[in-house]
Structure 1
Amino acid sequence: MRLFKAILEAQNLSLGASAMNMTASSASYRLKNLEYAVGSDLFVRTPKGMRLTPAGEVLSRHTQKLLGDVEAMHLELSDYSRNLKGSIRLLANSSALNSFIIPSLARFLVANSSINIDLKELDSPSIVSKIEDGEADIGVVADQAPFHHLLSELYAVEWLVCVVAPSHPLAANKEISFTQTLEHDFVSMERHSSNFIFLENQARLAGKALNVRVHAHNFSSVLHLVEAGVGVGLVPASIAEQAVLEQRISSISITEPWATRNLHLIMKKESAEIELIREFADILLHDPQVVAARAIYPQPGAASDGFAL
């Protein structure tokens, strides 16, 4: 959102990128991702510079207030986060963990030396069960898992993309169905990872087998193997972003609706009544990067000021 604002003020992509201390190619990629997310072009290029489209006008009206609210929330939450003490059990699926949770936790833990986090990755249905049974305090799950009986807030929105080596036959496509990708060899996360479990289930529903040549232990390894031409991968767009910018891999949109997923932060009512857990949940919900991810997909049910009891 800050990049969008910078381009708008400069009326020029390169100048906007410079104001954000990034290269023009990086800014262009991020802008394309934002336009893909909202489903419409935001700017048109004219001899006098970049001008907003009607969709861009709508986004512009909300951007300044959003950025101001994010900064205000960040300052307000940091005032009391420094006083938190204790230990929290946090579960997340692989997409949430790598795209949002790890960056948020890094910032939070550096600023809060008196809090320890017991962090584990599980698939979304298992996380719901653990929360229900009181074996964890907070969970972040995809909306495919039923959790209506638990307290929940929209946490972030992420989308899965197909990544391939630039020389791969699929690289020329701008979008592709998951069924089409199943005609090719895959590089996937480990068998117990929530990412692999999810993709294997989608392949089963499509009536096809997921032919995995190798299971890698993290997304970085998946991207490295994809770059080498071992196979195709399905990863969160944010994970692939840097490698795509460096033109080491190509990113292709997946046409299935499930490729775009709402991630929800869930907990039991009893957990939300514990001040430490409730305040930590609010800090996760209002991390600036997470707020920006939600803002790309404005919708009913977006995170409020916190969990209402």
Structure 2
Amino acid sequence: MKHLYTFALIEAVARSGSMRKAAEDMNLTASALNRRIRRFEEEFGSDLFERIPGGVRLNPAGEMVLHHYRATLSDIARVQSQVADLSGERRGHVSIACSQALLPYFLPEQIARYRAEHPGVTFSVKVRDRARAEQELASYDSDLALVFEPVYLVDFEVLHLVPQRVHVVMRGGHPLAARPEVRLRECLDQPHVAPDARYGVRHLLDFAARRMRRQLDPVLETESFELIRHYVLHENAVGFQIPIGLRESADGSVAFRPVSERDVAPGSLILGQLRGRTLPVASARFAMQLAAALQDVAA
């Protein structure tokens, strides 16, 4: 939409922090980009950027303008999806920021199920830690967030919540695999692999360990839960994950057991959106499907 093009240029500059880099990204000359933004600032009555060493950044007025642009794009997408619904063919795009645990099983199943009924809807899935996922909602970069143990919840409207116990992941033949549940101290006495501090699982583990006057001392710390799941096959170590991201292997090579709630309290897997935002139809309907599926997980 041509009338929004200048706003897109402003967003490109804000994203890159450089007029020159933004011009390259938008296939313009730097002088043409600069003239367009200067013209907008004159008509608007305020500068949008302040110069800093090495580039530019939005000033408070620029941040307000960019927020308005993103909200406008969201409103247009919502109206487009409503108009598409009038023709009986749902279209639209759904963007989701989520924890890694949702990637192997839950989200692929849910997206495929939704698209089987509404093939005109497309998706983007971005893996984000719990703090970044909330930022994505506030900046309109994502419609929905599905994260374990969100940090702030300031502008986060909770659509559904399901408890998840922390589980130990290990080789199928590991001695702890014979237990129905394990104690945290037993895990910490073993070589262990842990997610880094940005993730909700690690937050719960660190809190529980401090209560026991212990601390995690992982042989491997990573941002990848996939690495944790595979690493335990190569060393007789244990890792940690939530059950929505786990399934028993057909050959029994990997096992997982819950950590006792006497040691580690369950965390919350939360589906949410930006507070006060009216979602496009496709995103709102997909959120309803996710909430129902999470209810089944809890059951």
Match of 1:184 in 2: 190
Q: Secondary structure at the match of 1:176?
A: coil
Q: Distance in 1 between matches of 2:158 and 2:280?
A: 16
8 A Cα contact 2:106 2:244, kept in partner: no
Match of 2:216 in 1: 209
Q: Distance in 1 between matches of 2:151 and 2:198?
A: 16
Q: Secondary structure at the match of 1:87?
A: strand
Q: Distance in 2 between matches of 1:97 and 1:249?
A: 18
Alignment partner for residue 171 of structure 2, among 145, 148, 165?
165
Q: Distance in 1 between matches of 2:108 and 2:145?
A: 14
Q: Secondary structure at the match of 1:276?
A: helix
Alignment partner for residue 150 of structure 1, among 150, 153, 156?
156
Per-residue deviation, residues 26-76 of structure 1 (Å, max 9, x unmatched): xxxxxxxxxxxxxxxxxxxxxxxxxxxxxxxxxxxxxxxxxxxxxxxxxxx
Q: Distance in 2 between matches of 1:92 and 1:174?
A: 29
- Aligned positions of 1:92-241 closer than 5 A: 92-143=98-149, 145-147=151-153, 149-188=155-194, 194=199, 198=203, 201-202=206-207, 205=210, 207-213=214-220, 215=222, 217=224, 219=226, 222-241=228-247
Q: Distance in 2 between matches of 1:164 and 1:143?
A: 23
Mean Cα deviation higher: 267-276 or 128-137? 267-276
Match of 1:292 in 2: 296
Match of 1:249 in 2: 254
1:264 is displaced (CA, Å) by: 1.7
Q: Which amino acid in the other structure matches residue 184 of structure 2?
A: F
Per-residue deviation, residues 66-91 of structure 1 (Å, max 9, x unmatched): xxxxxxxxxxxxx99x8321222210
8 A Cα contact 2:191 2:218, kept in partner: yes
1:92 is displaced (CA, Å) by: 0.9
1:127 is displaced (CA, Å) by: 1.4
Stretches of structure 1 lacking an aligned partner (at least 5 in a row): 1-78, 297-309
What is the root-mean-square deviation in Å for CA atoms of aligned residues? 3.5
8 A Cα contact 1:121 1:194, kept in partner: no
Q: Distance in 2 between matches of 1:192 and 1:86?
A: 36
Q: Distance in 2 between matches of 1:101 and 1:251?
A: 21
Count of paired positions = 211
Q: Secondary structure at the match of 2:142?
A: coil
Pair 1:284–1:144, CA change in 2 (3 A): closer
Q: Secondary structure at the match of 1:95?
A: helix
Q: Distance in 2 between matches of 1:130 and 1:201?
A: 26
Per-residue deviation, residues 88-142 of structure 1 (Å, max 9, x unmatched): 2210112234452232112223443322222111122221232123332111123
Q: Distance in 2 between matches of 1:91 and 1:144?
A: 12
Percent of pairs with identical residues: 16
Pair 1:202–1:194, CA change in 2 (3 A): same
Per-residue deviation, residues 128-172 of structure 1 (Å, max 9, x unmatched): 232123332111123453426432122544332112224434334
Alignment partner for residue 266 of structure 2, among 245, 260, 266?
260
Q: Secondary structure at the match of 2:94?
A: strand
Match of 2:281 in 1: 275
What's the TM-score, normalizing by structure 1?
A: 0.55
1:182 is displaced (CA, Å) by: 2.1
Runs of 4+ in 1 over 6 A off after TM superposition: none
Find the structure with the greater CA-based Rg: 2
8 A Cα contact 1:94 1:194, kept in partner: no
What's the TM-score, normalizing by structure 2?
A: 0.57
